[in-house]
Chain A
Amino acid sequence: QVQLVQSGAELRKPGASVKVSCRPSGYTFTGYYLHWVRQAPGQGLEWLGRINPRTGGTHLPPKFRGRVAMTGDTSNSVVYMELTRLTYDDTAVYFCARLGDNSNNHLDFWGQGTLVTVSS
């Protein structure tokens, strides 16, 4: 069965960086795009971008370009999302999710989420 397992909760100070991992299983790693979505406490969903695990190519919204990096390791079937220059507003649960297909742009399987807390 398809599963996406993420790394554990992180606590960082403002200005620091954080790197979250997402390890899919149950399907061909290079066969599906992976997206990252975050959710601040009590708020809605915000898209951070996507990565093609086969090529390493990424697509990020302008808001996060220069501050978010997404990478993939095909040898170990894991993707990473790194967020730099953290501020208090980056406190959120970060999810990775598999793109079901490009025609509908739906996210069919999600990781359990990783809480990133930014606090001094």
Chain B
Amino acid sequence: QSVLTQPPSVSGAPGQRVIISCSGDTSNIGDNSVNWYQQLPGTAPKLLIFGDSQRPSGVPDRISGSKSGTSASLAISGLQSEDEADFYCGAWDDNLNGLIFGGGTKLTVL
């Protein structure tokens, strides 16, 4: 059971906007940065968002991250078929003194 809680799946039609949530508590999201990773089938995770809302070079601005209190969200607008992947949130946990991840959310583009 993951310390960070994500919905198992989300879906949307091409062009639509979807939001993936990540819920934690004061020892992780509430006190540390949230990072998001995208994992295409059979590949390594790729950093999508760091520091709650910053995009690495090369990540399009239709992808955004936000955080409020002990929850964070990843928004993907203008859905494309190539966005189909698993998405993971991650953060440092002060109580566990380690890196933790959410259970992952599978995005399906209808």
Contact = CB atoms under 8 A, between A and B. Distances in A.
Interface of A: 35, 37, 44-47, 49-50, 59, 61, 95, 97, 100, 103-113
Contacts of A37: 45, 99, 101
Contact of B104 (A44, A47, A95, A108): A44
A105 B50 CA distance: 8
A104 B88 contact: no
B50 A104 contact: yes
Given A44-B88, A45-B45, A104 B102 contact: no
Given A103-B33, A105-B32, A106-B50, 16 more contacts: A35-B99, A37-B99, A44-B88, A46-B101, A47-B100, A49-B98, A50-B99, A61-B96, A61-B98, A97-B45, A103-B51, A105-B92, A106-B51, A107-B35, A107-B90, A110-B46
- Chain B interface SS verdict (over half): strand
A109 B102 CA distance: 19
26 contacts: A35-B99, A37-B99, A44-B88, A45-B37, A45-B88, A45-B104, A47-B99, A50-B99, A59-B98, A61-B98, A95-B44, A95-B45, A103-B33, A103-B51, A105-B32, A105-B90, A105-B99, A106-B35, A106-B47, A106-B90, A107-B45, A107-B90, A110-B44, A110-B45, A110-B46, A111-B44
Contacts of A107: 35, 37, 45, 47, 90
A47 B101 contact: yes
B51 A104 contact: yes
B55 to A, nearest CB: 12
B74 to A, nearest CB: 14
Nearest to B52: A104
Contacts of B68: none
Contacts of A104: 33, 35, 50-51, 54
Contacts of B32: 105
Nearest to A109: B47
B56 interface: yes
